[in-house]
Chain A
Amino acid sequence: MTRRGRPSTSWIVPLGLGAVCALLAIGSLRSSLFAQQTVSGLANGGIYASLAVALVLIYRATEVINFAQGAIATFTTYVAWQLMQWGLSYWPAFACTLGIAFGGGFVLELVAIRPVERRGSVLSVVIAAIGLLILVEGSIGWIWGNEVKFMPTPFPAHIYTVGGVAFSRQDLSTIAISLVAVLVLWLFFQFTKVGLAMRAAAVRPDAARLVGVRVSWMLSLGWGLAAALGAVAGMMAAASPSVLLQPSMMDGILIYAFAAAVVGGLESAAGAVVAALLIGVLLNLVTTYVHFVGPALQLPVAFVIMLVVLLVKPSGLFGRTRVRRV
């Protein structure tokens, strides 16, 4: 059970991050196109971050990747769209959707995942999550149809110009809202009793059970929170002009979130956020400056990043190295 840190190389990651930040800052000061692409990359990264943290949340509790996370996020975005069709204005609909997403995630864990998990294998739970992905994505098509819908955006198309560089209010708001959502979640985990119980249930389920934490309810709660966070990601993604509201809307975003979660180390929420922002910026810059990478190749690029990180540092940038004892 020894946890082996390697102090000799632990400075590489912070140093690398510092260098990347410096590079981005210098580039942004020198070229306005670079600065714009960096900011809109950060906005995309904020969306990936919410979804990636949702994935990390569930992974920490059950060691399972929730493949249905993107589909659930899309579903809740449709719910928001529906509420607005019924006459709610944006922010009340936003709040209602978060509540509905939380309840939905809670129930899904209870109905679909817990019976499978009781038989006790990670592979079965992964496959059940894939079943859930098909189920949820299918029911979106069933209820709302497969044609594209247009999500109203709460942000007026306002452009701020700072030193010759135009920033859209859309991008800045997306960054802010995603980061606030993640921050609220962090505060919840750090400073509330339920949050503490959830952390205990994730790290040492048996010990937590002994001190009276109802571990299985904590798992359902985790799914609920993850779904709510996913709903934030979904609504932010649908509000951006480049993404249209359709059943497969989050498929690609899910992969970026996967990549971010893996690069961040799968167990570290902070790592996932940093990695998500980096991936968002990197993808935007690569598609802008490397000409043979069109928008269609963004996904393979994210995949390659994920693969390289996994091969070089399998525990991710922020994960702890696990020693597997035979």
Chain B
Amino acid sequence: MRPARGTVAGAAVAIVVAAVIGLLPLALSDYHRSTGATVAVYFIAILALDIVTGYTGQISIGHGAFMAIGGYATAILTHDHGWNDLATLPVAAAAGFAAGVVVGLPALRFHGVYLALTTFAVALAVPQIAKNYSHFTGGTEGLSLPSHSGLWLYEVGWAIAGATFVLAWLLLRGRTGRAFRAVRDSEIAAASAGVTLAVYKTAAFGVSAAMAAVAGSLFVLVNSFVNPDVFGLQLSLYVLIGAVVGGLGSLWGVLAGAAFVQLLPVGLTTGHLASSQAVPVIFGAVVIGVMALLPLGAADVLRAVLRSASTRGKHSETPLGTEGR
């Protein structure tokens, strides 16, 4: 239904955004480049969450756990087995995919609140498991990895972020994406239209978890350190906040969400507007405010602006955030 003009405009925006991201490191110090690399990490993680929650309607509060799996795969392989950093990424993705399918299996039976609970428990349980098997994971003291320059991290991070964005776009625009959305909007209707729920739900979880695992690997590379606290509950919640603020079910909102999650704390603390202690308070308030005032996030504002500009807003899209039960 989408006119070709929209696709062209989308491609143009994509090129401009990619150019800005590509040229930005020239203007940044090395420290800020690694901050930018962390934005890329959040971008990938939020994109991953968006696939499973925004597009397929299966809430996950546990994406930090998948990031932990990827992060530990990278850390253990480079630290103990001398692998090259980048060579560990496919392994991380595969491990993440497997974990995602396992977590996705209960999603076949659980709905809404139960799934939220299950994934929340996963987010809390995985760091505990890492703490318990300390001879493997370094325990609370963690593992240190060789550090990279900010520029290397920025380039690698955003190259992978761009690649996952294209992959996600290809996945979501076609048959699979339609099936995901059908599952989100009505499982019964989707099933009667021939969408096999079991396959698509586990696939959504698997793909999403694989992406989140890659994000986790990059996160470990950026920090050049890993311990269970790196992947604590807070990370899962921040990824969710990014997805919500950006707008669930929107690919463009992901960028806004990632920037928000990483740059707001940095901006607030370096600008001396608030102490670092106050950041979670502001975050929480923003999340509640967003849910109360614009439940579809930043992407919805953007969409409304574009629509009023083109004055052709006859078809109203399904309110995405409201279908996730």
Q: Which residues of A contact B (CB under 8 A)?
A: 59, 63-65, 67, 112, 115-116, 119-128, 130-139, 141-142, 145, 248, 251-252, 255, 258-259, 262, 266, 294, 296-297, 299-300, 302-303, 306-307, 310-311, 314, 326
Contact = CB atoms under 8 A, between A and B. Distances in A.
Contact of A137 (B122, B188, B280): B280
Nearest to A136: B284
Closest 6 CB pairs of A and B: A135-B284, A138-B280, A131-B287, A123-B324, A134-B284, A115-B292
Contacts of A116: 288, 291-292, 295
8 contacts: A65-B113, A67-B116, A121-B322, A125-B291, A126-B113, A135-B280, A138-B284, A255-B125
Interface stretch (B8-16, B86-94, B126-134, B207-215): B126-134
Contact of B124 (A126, A127, A255): A255
B56 to A, nearest CB: 13
Nearest to B278: A142
Interface string B275-292: 101111101111110011
A251 B124 contact: yes
Contact of B112 (A67, A122, A300, A314): A122
B230 interface: no
A297 B322 CA distance: 36
A139 B280 CA distance: 8
B128 A296 contact: yes
B241 interface: yes
Given A307-B106, A314-B109, A138 B283 contact: yes
B59 interface: yes
Contacts of B118: 306-307, 310
B148 interface: no
Contact of B244 (A127, A136, A251, A303): A127
A303 B285 contact: no
Nearest to A258: B117
Contact of A130 (B110, B287, B324): B287
A126 B279 CA distance: 21
Contact of B114 (A300, A302, A310): A310
Given A121-B324, A130-B287, A138-B277, A311 B295 contact: no
Given A128-B292, A130-B61, A130-B287, A299 B128 contact: yes
Contacts, number: 156
- What interface size band does chain B fall in? 35 or more
Contacts of B319: 121
Contacts of B275: 142
A310 B113 CA distance: 12
Contacts of A122: 112-113, 324-325
Given A63-B113, A311-B109, A123 B188 contact: no
A70 B238 CA distance: 18
Contacts of B280: 134-135, 137-139, 141-142
A123 B120 contact: no
B138 interface: no
Contacts of B241: 130-131, 134
B325 A121 contact: yes
A123 B323 CA distance: 8
Nearest to B292: A115
Contacts of B288: 112, 116, 128, 131-132, 135
A325 to B, nearest CB: 10
Contacts of A64: 113
Interface of B: 59, 61, 106, 109-110, 112-114, 116-118, 120-122, 124-125, 128-129, 131-132, 188, 233-234, 237, 240-241, 244, 275, 277-281, 283-288, 291-292, 295, 319, 321-325
Nearest to B234: A134
B233 A251 contact: yes
Nearest to A123: B324
Given A121-B322, A121-B325, A300-B129, A135 B121 contact: no
Contact of A299 (B59, B61, B124, B295): B124
B162 to A, nearest CB: 28
A139 B324 contact: no
Given A130-B237, A300-B129, A124 B277 contact: no
A161 to B, nearest CB: 34
A122 B116 CA distance: 11
A262 B241 CA distance: 25
B128 A131 contact: no
Contacts of A297: 128-129, 132
Contact of B109 (A120, A130, A310): A310
Interface centre among B281, B284, B295, by most chain A C-beta atoms within 10 angstroms, is: B284
Contacts of B59: 123, 126
B287 A127 contact: yes
A295 to B, nearest CB: 9
Contacts of B234: 134
Contacts of B287: 127-128, 130-131, 134-135
Given A138-B283, A297-B132, A310-B109, 5 more contacts: A65-B116, A119-B322, A121-B323, A299-B125, A303-B125
B318 to A, nearest CB: 12
Contacts of B110: 310, 314
Given A134-B283, A138-B284, A300-B125, A67 B321 contact: no
